Amino acid sequence: MNAGYINLVWITPERFDAAQTLRLKFNDKPDISFTDLTSMGVMLELKMSKIITGDAHFTHVGMGFVLLP
């Protein structure tokens, strides 16, 4: 659903499964929340690399995410 500059992305069962796969992949990083892993999965799917966040976990996974100030 598009509304102006906001694009809502639903977490489908497939996206949830992708987040679970990331949880298993990054089992050595238990401080990364499932919400962050879900966001990372959606970002990978949509080929997004830039994120506005104060959460450094996005750089701890080595998937090319870039934190914007």
Q: Indicate the pLDDT class of residue 5, thresholds 50, 70 and 90.
A: confident
Average pLDDT, the chain: 92
CA distance 69 to 64: 16
Residue 58 has pLDDT above 70, yes or no: yes
Return the pLDDT at 3: 57
Exposed / middle / buried, residue 40 (Cβ in 10 Å: 0-12, 13-18, 19+): buried
Average pLDDT over residues 39-49: 96
**What share of the chain in percent tops pLDDT 90?**
83
Q: pTM of this prediction?
A: 0.86
